[in-house]
Amino acid sequence: MGNRGFSWRANVRTWQAVLAAWLAYVLVRLAIQPLLGWEPVGPDDWTRLLEVRAWLDGQGWWDVTQYRMKPPEGFSMHWSRLVDMPLALMTLLFGETVALVMVPLLWLLPALFALRAIMLRLDFSDLAFLFGLVLLPLFPLLPGNFAPFRIDHHAPQAVLALVCAALLLRDSKWSAVACGTCAAAWVVISLEGLPLVAVLAGLYGVRYWFGERTLLPWFLGALAAAAAMLSHTTRGPDPGMGFCDVLLPGHMLVFAAAAVIAAIIPFLPWQDRVQGRVFALAAMGLVCLQLAGSLLGPCATNPMAELNPVLQQWWHGYITEGLPVWKQPVSVALMLVWTVGIIVAGWWTAHRCGLFHQGRALACTLLFLFALAAGGYSLLVMREGTVAQLLAIPFAALLLAEWLPKARAVTSAMPRIVATLAVLGFATPLFASAFAKPLDKHFPAETMQPDVLALIEPGDCGYARLAAVEPGLVFAPLDAGPEILGRTRNTVVAASYHRNQRPMADVISALTGSAADARAIIDTYAPDYVAACAASADVALYRTAAVDNFANALVSGEVPDWLERDETASQGPLHVYRVVR
């Protein structure tokens, strides 16, 4: 036999194809990284770096307090060591820079393997399989979350969600156990994943409803056991410390109670009938909801429901990633809605292409319902769009595999090009979002009002210049705090972490109020420096509170006599003042 050469169709389903797709993405990201910079992306990435540094420097495993924020007591944090572990390990083995570059890229690898498992289970065509491995860059929220230096907790959460989806489609009890364990890690990292974990439990209930194997008790049992173990080992015997933003013993008791009830249900009367199974599952849900309300009390609701009014007005309402779709810029809103549309259209295509045959109907339906739930959740909390877009990739791959060959088969050149672009635009959210971008300035969201944008000065804040001053306590806007800590030996009064509402509100009140009000607040913290960067969005927002407020005074340089400009650190849009006592 002659040499038939390499065939992508013969290799696209292999694990080597996953590695090749991952390696190609890594090489492209590393090639363009010099253009984007070799440093953490935002405040949360800087703070994650601070967490890892403090731990490696000897801070306790259970203690995630940021002691350089509002020293000496520090800022209480709800973050999990689960996210710190791979960063710390890579730092010890290869150094900090390698860890910051490679850990976000490595999170993509299990995501691609989970996509492969989903596509194998649903028996995708070779072409759809290929699209499923390479489509990630066309989903706007995904490349940035798997990019070097993007070390916050959003990528791990999204990967765990996708792995749970892949395990949900399998029929063995060990897959259910693995799914429950991954779901537990997900909610230990962030309680924000709890609604989708509840959806997972509901989908295992759907499996029981349709007479599938009794996998629900295995999922819930693993969820309860792993949640208790992971919470205790990473947060200690008192995980909540009086806060509602982490997994609490009440949550774990509800998980355990649900597992016990789910194990009993198959032995109840009439479980051989659909009506009996539905009634039992509904009763179980009602019991668990009542139990959650009793055990969790006020913590059963949104932990952000009771915020300081100052924070509600000047902080929380401007965190775009936490806002619903109707408060997003037009391009972002369309991207979120388009992602949901891709899921629905892909589901219709799956039905049309025969994926419901040969025992795949239930698996395809479960994936659709989970992806649709994630898409719906993203319309309420924008950052959940990362999960929704990962889950939408298989549906986009089906759309492209079905319609792109038809578009390419058009004989005339111009209609063929138009049809090809139309299919690509319809099957991914990137182009819709890009085309809608010019509309953002004509229909500005609350977070990007023209009067605020006009006050943002060009230039780089350059907080590293604060390393040149004698180390001290810096009174600075909330978003500046983590970067100042990451680049210098200074401490800061506050940063943007909701458990610590009093100092956060004080910083905002000082910057939005008069110089006299600011002096009264600043004296309570006794900082050595006051800093503000005119190129930052939060400072621009505070300047709109009043023409003669403290933020405007800092930027203009017309400051009261108890402040003295530090010419060493001040440069460009960064203004640094020493507090005269």
Domain locations along the chain? 9-37+78-398, 453-579
CA-to-CA dists, residue 173 to 216, 224, 306, 572, angstroms: 9, 15, 41, 61
With contact defined as beta carbons under 8 Å apart, do 28 and 20 qualify? Answer: no
Q: What one-letter code names the amino acid at 556?
A: S
Q: What one-letter code names the amino acid at 469?
A: V
* Alpha-carbon gap, residue 127 to 195, rounded angstroms: 34
What pLDDT is attached to residue 1?
40
What pLDDT is attached to residue 129?
92
Give the closest residue to 182 by CA, choosing from 163, 200, 168, 166: 163
**How many residues belong to the chain?**
581
Those residues whose C-beta lies under 8 Å from the C-beta of residue 348, and which sit 6 or more positions away, are none
Give the closest residue to 368 by CA, choosing from 340, 338, 336, 403: 340
Give the closest residue to 317 by CA, choosing from 512, 199, 447: 447
The helix/strand count (H/E) of the chain reads as: 25, 5
Q: Which two tokens stand for residue 4?
A: 């038939």
User: Which pLDDT tens digits describe the chain residue by residue (581 residues)?
Assistant: 444 555 667 688 888 999 999 999 999 999 999 888 888 988 999 999 999 999 999 999 999 999 999 999 999 999 999 999 999 999 999 999 999 999 999 999 999 999 999 999 998 889 999 999 999 999 999 999 999 999 999 999 999 999 999 999 998 899 999 999 999 999 999 999 999 999 999 999 988 888 776 899 999 999 999 999 999 999 887 776 678 888 898 899 999 999 999 898 888 888 778 888 888 889 888 998 888 888 888 887 766 557 788 988 888 888 888 889 999 999 999 999 999 999 999 998 888 776 666 667 888 899 999 999 999 999 999 999 999 999 999 999 999 998 888 888 888 888 888 888 888 989 999 999 999 999 888 888 777 777 788 888 888 898 999 999 999 999 999 999 999 999 999 999 999 998 899 999 999 999 999 999 999 999 999 999 999 999 998 999 999 988 989 999 999 988 899 999 999 899 989 999 999 87
What pLDDT is attached to residue 317?
83
What pLDDT is attached to residue 527?
94
Reduced to 3 states, what is the DSSP secondary structure of residue 85?
Answer: helix
CA-to-CA dists, residue 501 to 63, 136, 332, angstroms: 20, 38, 29
Q: What one-letter code names the amino acid at 226?
A: A
